[in-house]
Amino acid sequence: MEERIGYRKVLKNRRFFLLCIGQATSCFGDSLTTIALIGLIAWFTGGAKEINMMWLMLSCIAPQVLLGPFAGVFVDRLKRKNIMILSDLIRGFLILLIPFTQSTYQIFIIAFLVSIADIFFSPAYSAFIPNIVEKKELFVANSILTSTREFMNLIGPAIGGVIIGLFGIKSIFFIDAVTFFLSALAIWNIPAEEALESKRLPQRFFSELKDGLIYIRRNRVISFICLLFCAMMLAGGTINLVLPLFVNEVLQKGVKEFGFLMSANALGIILGSLIGGRIGQGIDKVKLIIFAVILCGVNSTLFVLNPVFVVGLGLFVINGFANGLWGICSGTVIQEEVEDSKRGRVFSVVGAVSGSSNMIASGMAGILARIFGSKVLFLASGIFMSIIGIISSFFPIREEKKVL
């Protein structure tokens, strides 16, 4: 019988604990900056105009789409710990510049540069986790990291509102910069040994990039996850864009109720990560991913058809649960399936696929919502996710081992 891994055991790992503390700190700062950026842009322009929000979103997503796969090559060539430290320091210094900006364009440029640093940090971080915890502990480790991040996202905006009221909106950026420096300090203190033999091979840059893409194409499980990420982000990105419209036009609710839905979703992600990390051990992670996709699709469909807002809050908790389970399972599968020398490139490509799909969804959703309405588009996205999940359940994702 497979040994059940407890949260306490994983947290006793000093290297993992330091990584978790560092990420909790920087995620808290990021959650503050998210609302502060919107407020600062609104202050510059006299309101949070849609065009400015679109440019901010593009500034954050474009580097991931355009440069993400290339960043993965560096993540597999260099020490991931050093990449994370440097990325944190760069992001911290860039955030320090925001209080001194004089226009929205300067903010967009800084956001773009921060996102460039982030496309190096994110795959290095995901690929680094298997270097500091045992393979059998990965599922629980991802559960802890995901739930910690979402908890910070849940409490951050409320605390940020208090800080802005007491010290002004620009104080938020100084706090966020400090959290990045603290994260870099925590990672610097992690004693980690990384296997660099394969990274010293004198291959050309584009050969390594091509090698990573071929690896993804030939690995049935990883290809499946990439395609599923694409489909989920197309549907999920559409829902994220039309949700405010749906709440306002169909449910006849305002900003306060929209905030309740976001909090319910974050709570669900925390529960999905923690409960999934506990009961999901010993179950095929690919099957759990498919289950989460179907649950998310069916739940989104029911949300559109449900007329009672309180019931909708419960459905959003379930939606978050599915997203949390999907997140920890997909990350764990990649970490378990992919060899260390290619893990950075795989995570970078998955990130680029997600970002591209999200960008396409955001661009198309605005047009389609005007033609068909937010309710029809929301419903179609939920049904699409359900169908994708159901179809996936009929295909053999894992290759059967052949006996020679």
Tens-digit pLDDT profile for residues 319-370:
999 999 999 999 999 999 999 989 999 999 998 888 888 888 877 887 888 8
Of 139-143, 235-239, 286-290, give the lowest mean pLDDT range: 235-239
pLDDT at 196: 54
> Comparing C-alpha atoms, which of 190, 192, 238, 191 is closest to residue 377?
238
**Those residues with Cβ within 8 angstroms of residue 97's Cβ, 6 or more apart along the chain or in another chain:** 110
Tell me the pLDDT band of 175, cut-offs 50, 70 and 90.
Answer: very high
CA 27 to chain CA mean position, Å: 11
Look at the block and give the residue holding tokens 């993540």: 75
Domain ranges across the chain: 1-189, 204-393
Torsion of CA 363, 149, 65, 376, to 10 degrees: -20
Percent of the chain with pLDDT over 70: 93
Whole-angstrom distance, CA of residue 155 vs CA of residue 373: 33
Domain at 204-393: CATH architecture: Up-down Bundle (1.20)
pLDDT digits (tens, 9 = 90+) for 73-103: 999 988 999 999 999 999 999 999 999 998 8
Domains 1-189 and 204-393 in one fold: yes
pLDDT at 398: 63
CA distances from 362 to 33, 110, 173, 262, 384 (A): 22, 22, 27, 18, 16
Give yes or no for residue 16 having a pLDDT over 90: yes
**Those residues with Cβ within 8 angstroms of residue 221's Cβ, 6 or more apart along the chain or in another chain:** 286, 333, 337, 397, 398, 399
What does the pLDDT average to over 121-135? Answer: 93
**Buried-state track 280-309, b at ≥16 Cβ within 10 A, e below 16:** bbeeebbebbbbbbbbbbbbbbebbeeeee
Whole-angstrom distance, CA of residue 202 vs CA of residue 369: 51
Tell me the pLDDT band of 399, cut-offs 50, 70 and 90.
Answer: low
Of 39-48, 168-177, 274-283, 348-357, give the lowest mean pLDDT range: 39-48
What does the pLDDT average to over 257-262? Answer: 84
CA distances from 233 to 36, 200, 360, 382 (A): 26, 35, 9, 12
Mean pLDDT computed over every residue of the chain: 86
What does the pLDDT average to over 105-125? Answer: 93
Look at the block and give the residue holding tokens 């209080």: 99
Tell me the pLDDT band of 194, cut-offs 50, 70 and 90.
Answer: low
- Please compute Rg for the chain using Cα positions: 21
Tokens standing for 275? 């409960």
CA geometry: angle 23, 24, 26, nearest 5 deg? 65
DSSP state letters, 235-273: HHHHHHHHHHHHHHHTS---HHHHHHHHHHHHHHHHHHH
Give yes or no for residue 155 having a pLDDT over 50: yes
pTM, full prediction: 0.87
pLDDT at 121: 95
DSSP state of 137: G
pLDDT at 197: 46
Contact 307, 254 (CB under 8 A): no
pLDDT at 401: 47
Give yes or no for residue 1 having a pLDDT over 80: no
Q: Homologous superfamily of 1-189 in CATH?
A: MFS general substrate transporter like domains (1.20.1250.20)
